[in-house]
Amino acid sequence: MSEMFSSYILEVVQIVILLAAAPVFIGWVRTLKCWFQGRTTAGIFQPYRDLIKLFHKDIVLAENASWIFRITPYLIFGFTVLIGAIIPVLSVDLPLSSTADVIAIVSLFAMSRFFTALAGMDIGTAFGGMGSSREMTIASLAEPAMLMAVFTVSLASKSTSLSQMAQVIAHGDLVLRPSLAFALLAFIFISLAETGRIPVDNPATHLELTMIHEAMILEYSGRHLALIEWAGMMKLYLFAVLGIAAFFPWGIAEAGNLIAIPIAILVLAVKLVLAGVGLVLIETGLAKMRFFRVPEFLGSAFLFATLGMLSFFMLE
């Protein structure tokens, strides 16, 4: 009984970390970016201040906004937190971790995207529709690559359940598997597309013709916008921890081992710091590409994942 109780406590701890750490992670990425580009920073806690400001503001809603528009921020937030509760971040054994395997997690992200795209079309401005159309196009091209990457990773662990994957890799010998290296490369490409980072989308832009994600949420304000922004921050964090759980799980706590939890938190923090550095290196090194170059970008992600699969069959 006490073991079950402690695992539920762990679940709550993980959600709290998700809610708290996601803004800091974004803050860290932005700070790093400022350093790289020689600008002064606003500090890694600026996203908190932004969120608090938005939560205190009133909402201005377009006259013809329907209930879809009003419910979407809550749904996006709900789906993102739910995913955060499912991905094994601190321990391989969480009560909710078998709620969904990787494929289902990807579909949960797809569900929140579905509603974002609908909300973009709800007001009836050209920007919203443009954003929805582009977002859905990119998402549909990313999907096959994502499935291929999942497939390649699941070949090694014979499972699509994240706990199982993390366990197998954490316990296996520390060898460089070519299949996993290719899958990781594909996963990074896909994550950049899914989270709307450079080179696919620029999260900082509000330039009419280039924005994708921002175009869909252009009409939001107040707490609605705060929820969406927060969920966006969590999404980046979640893709980072998804990659960590699938490719670098070392340091994650074993089932029922509560003493390892503080170490797991520490290790996670270090990994996230490094992930932020990697992301900023990519984002500063590349320019945003034209929308119709994105298919090639995602096509190469698919190619890498396929190469990973082939190398598994041939080499391992």
Partner 1 sequence: MISPFTLITTSLYIFFSVVILSLLFSRNQRLLVYSVFPLTSFASLLALIAGIWIVQYGITESWIILMGLPDLPFHIRLDPLSGFFLTLIGALGFIVSVYSIGYVKAFIGHRPVTSLAIFYSLFLAGMFMVVLADDAFFFLISWEVMAAASYFLVMFEDERTENRRAAFLYLVIAHIGAIAILLSFGLMAGFATGFESFNGYTFDAMRHASFPPHWAAVTFFLAFFGFAAKAGVIPLHVWLPEAHPVAPSNVSALMSGIMLKTAIYGIIRVTFDLIRDFPWWWGAVVMILGLVSALLGILFALQQQDLKKLLAYSSVENIGIILVGIGLSMTFASFHSPVLSALALTAGLYHTFNHAMFKGLLFMGAGAVLHATHERNMEGMGGLIHRMPWTSALFLIGCISISALPPFNGFVSEWLMFQAFLLSPALPSTLLNFLIPMGAALLALAAALAAMCFVKAFGVTFLGQWRGQHHSEIHEVDWFMRIGMGMTAIACLCLGIFPTAMIRWMDVIAAGFVGGELSESAGAFGWIWLTPISHERASYSGPIVLLGLVGIVALAFLLLHARRKTIHRGPLWDCGFEKVTPRMQYTATAFSMPVRRIFGFYFHIRERKESKHLLDHKAFIKSIRYTLKTRDRFWGWLYQPVVDASFWISRKTGKLQKGRIQVYLIYSFATIILLLVLLR
| Binders of partner 1 in range 65-104 (CB under 8 A) | 65-68, 74-75, 77-79, 81-82, 85, 96, 98-101, 103-104
Looking at 32, 90, 92, 141, which residue binds partner 1 (CB under 8 A)?
141
Does 189 help bind partner 1 (rule: CB under 8 A)? no
CA angle 67, 70, 71 (to 5 degrees): 85
Q: How far is the CB of 20 from partner 1 (least distance, A)?
A: 16
Under the binding rule (CB under 8 A), the answer on residue 170 touching partner 1 is no
CB burial of residue 104 (10 Å; 0-12, 13-18, 19+)? middle
Give the x-and-dash track for 24-63 against partner 1 (CB under 8 A).
-------------------------------x-xxxxxxx
114 interacts with partner 1 by CB under 8 A? yes
Q: Which stretch binds partner 1 (CB under 8 A): 2-10, 172-180, 221-229, 276-284?
A: 221-229
Establish if 111 lies at the interface with partner 1 (CB under 8 A): yes
Query: Contact 280/197 with Cβ under 8 angstroms?
Result: no
The stretch near partner 1 (CB under 8 A) out of 25-33, 118-126, 194-202, 264-272 is 118-126
Backbone φ, ψ for residue 246 (5° rounding):
-85, -30
With contact defined as beta carbons under 8 Å apart, do 224 and 60 qualify?
A: no
The radius of gyration computed from the CA coordinates of the chain, to the nearest angstrom, equals: 19
Asked if 159 touches partner 1 (CB under 8 A), the answer is: yes
Q: Which is nearer to partner 1, 130 or 275 (CB)?
A: 130
> Token pair for residue 257?
């081992």
Question: Coil, helix or strand for 69?
Answer: helix
Q: How far is the CB of 279 from partner 1 (least distance, A)?
A: 24
Return the number of the residue (110 or 265) whose C-beta is nearest partner 1. Answer: 110
Handedness of CA 7, 13, 18, 21 (dihedral sign): negative
Residue choice 14, 154, 195, 202 for contact with partner 1 (CB under 8 A) = 154
Helix 162-171 with 102-122: angle, nearest 10 deg: 130
If binding is defined by CB under 8 A, does position 64 make contact with partner 1?
yes
Place of tokens 């879809």: 68
Q: Where does this chain touch partner 1 (CB under 8 A) — which range of 1-9, 137-145, 174-182, 270-278?
A: 137-145
Of 10, 123, 185, 233, the one binding partner 1 by CB under 8 A: 123
Size of the site for partner 1 (CB under 8 A): 83
CA atoms of 44 and 179, how far apart (whole Å): 36
Nearest residue to 98 (alpha-carbon basis) of 145, 144, 167: 167
**228 vs 279, beta carbon nearer partner 1:** 228
Alpha carbons 105 and 153: distance in angstroms, whole number: 15
Interacting positions 226-245 with partner 1 (CB under 8 A) = 227
Stretch that binds partner 1, among 115-123, 174-182, 235-243, 274-282 (CB under 8 A): 115-123
Q: What is the DSSP letter of 92?
A: S
Q: Measured from the CB atom, is 220 or 239 closer to partner 1?
A: 220
CA dist 107 → 70, 110, 118, 132 (Å): 22, 5, 16, 17
Q: Which of residues 292-311 bind partner 1 (CB under 8 A)?
A: 292, 295, 302, 306, 309-310
Q: Which stretch binds partner 1 (CB under 8 A): 28-36, 121-129, 177-185, 198-206?
A: 121-129
Is residue 100 helix, strand or coil? coil
Reference 113, options 145, 138, 95, 130; nearest CA is: 138
